[in-house]
Structure 1
Amino acid sequence: MVMAIVVKTFFLQAFYIPSESMEPTMLVDDKILVQKVSYWGGDVKRGDIVVFDDPGGWLPADESKHAGNVVQEALEKVGLFPTGGHLIKRVIGVGGDTVVCCTDGKLTVNGKALDEPYLLDETATKDNTFEVKVRKGYLWVMGDNRGNSSDSRFHQADPGGGQVSEKAVVGKAWVRVWPLGRAGFIKKPSTFDAVNGK
């Protein structure tokens, strides 16, 4: 039991996907493991898919569900039952970045247009224009299903301006464990290589 708690606290934690906001990358009820080791130093990177605590009012009540009985609660505490009350999105901008939507139909980060092959519908953002400067220690996050994702774009009027504190990040989506037919490691695309100077 102690070992399981240590693993959940410092290394791995199970989560389920509660909504369609990350389709087609993640589907509703996918079960994933999130690894925490990468962020021990707080180094969240553009393109990472992260799980984070609800900054406040981002989740409707039906997506904030937790374990429903004593056995599930015990398993949730040790990281063996998928945890609710969190969100999963892709990191688009990190502290210091300027994110603009949209130039010639493309999202840009620091003036570099992004080619986003993981999107469900590339045209879903073209009418939602914005320009934000991401504060130090914060992230700008968006779902892959841009037409059905209540992400940073829709919380710009909130006290945090739609930006998520790095301290709220639980970890990085690492592997899909269910369903078995789609199980495997979650890879980061080359989308952000130009922004990262590669």
Structure 2
Amino acid sequence: MSTEPAQHDLSTPAGPPVGVDVRPARRLLVEIAVAVLLVMLVRIFVMESFHVPSASMAPTIAAGDRVVVTKIGASQVERGDVIVFDGTSTFAAADRTPFVSDGLIGRVLSGAASALSIDLGEQDFLKRVAGVGGDRVACTPARGLVVNGASVDEPWLAPGSRACDAPFDVVVPQGRLFVLGDNRSDSADSRAHLGDPGGGMVPVDDVVGHVSWRYWPLDRIGGLGS
């Protein structure tokens, strides 16, 4: 009986080699690229999410809120609209308040929400439109806000906050906006820049969009009136 060890056949097996189908991987990469492109286009032209670190618009929008800004029709602005605008050419410094969430769950959820938004920083501001081009906007602590000679009802003012602490009387140039924060005692708005070049008037072309709704925190989700 033979005791020779078995020999392994190292020859190449007959038939075509087995290849790897890379088409699914390529298809996945294309789908990811298209999805990223669509998200970028939506963010640039349609809507964008912002994190608000300042209390200047409280109680309408509190520090730490996250809001969606609609960019379609950004230049169609009316009195009372809440807008985000690029203040590079008109406002010298941002009105910022650090946001700190409470508790582990709050930090985790707010961290996830932050991944979908950007901070209002040195260029972007969120305020309410008090006057448009051609309006005469005036205010005294006794009478409150007056636009074109008519007193303006402002139910959005922070409790205990007056319409203004110091009187002012301005005429808004065409193509410009006069903006105020709802929390007048804690808002660096057009009033703070009356002596600057441009008088604190925001060019309509600098409007990023209208604040349409709030999605964070969850217990305040909805429109600004909710």
TM-score using structure 1 length: 0.80
Does residue 49 (structure 1) correspond to residue 82 (structure 2)? The answer is: yes
Return the alpha-carbon distance in structure 2 between the equivalents of residues 52 and 110 of structure 1: 24
- Which of 178, 188, 194 in structure 2 is aligned with 1:150? 188
Aligned-residue Cα RMSD (Å) equals 2.4
Residue 174 (structure 2) aligned to one of 97, 116, 136: 136
Deviations 1:135-172 (A, max 9, x none): 11100000000011000011101111011111111000
User: What is the aligned partner in structure 2 of residue 172 from structure 1?
Assistant: 210
Q: Name the one with the larger strand percent.
A: 1
Indicate the residue corresponding to 2:69 in structure 1. Answer: 34
Mark the structure with the bigger radius of gyration: 2
Contact 2:144 2:162 in 1 (8 A): no
Identical residues among aligned pairs (%): 41
What is the Cα deviation at residue 84 of structure 1?
3.0
Partner of 1:15: 50
Q: How many residues align?
A: 173
Q: Which runs of 5+ in 1 are unaligned?
A: 65-75, 189-198
**Cα drift, residue 103 of structure 1:** 7.5
Alpha carbons of 1:159 and 1:117: their partners in 2 closer, same or farther (altered >3 Å)?
same
Query: Which segments of structure 1 move beyond 3 Å, counting only runs of 4 or more?
Result: none
Verify: 1:113 aligned to 2:148, yes or no: no
SS in 2 for 1:37: coil
Per-residue Cα deviation, 1:19-75 (whole angstroms, up to 9, x for no partner) = 110010011010000001132xx2111100000112341316x669xxxxxxxxxxx
Provide the C-alpha distance between the structure 2 equivalents of 1:126 and 1:141, rounded to a whole number of angstroms: 13
Structure 2 residue matching 1:8: 3-state secondary structure = helix
The one-letter amino acid of 1:48's match is D
TM-score (normalizing by structure 2) = 0.70
3-state SS of the aligned residue for 1:57? coil
2:141–2:162 CA contact under 8 A, matched in 1? no
Name the aligned partner's letter for residue 43 of structure 1: Q
What are the within-5 Å matches in structure 2 for residues 30-109 of structure 1? 30-39=65-74, 42-54=75-87, 55-59=90-94, 80-85=116-121, 86-102=124-140, 104-109=142-147
- Segments of 5+ residues of structure 2 without an aligned counterpart are 1-35, 99-113
Deviations 1:108-134 (A, max 9, x none): 111110111110146534431010000
1:4 CA drift (Å) = 0.7
For residues 64-110 of structure 1, the C-alpha deviation after alignment (integer angstroms, 9 at most, x for no partner) is: 9xxxxxxxxxxx9xx93224321100000000000011284220111
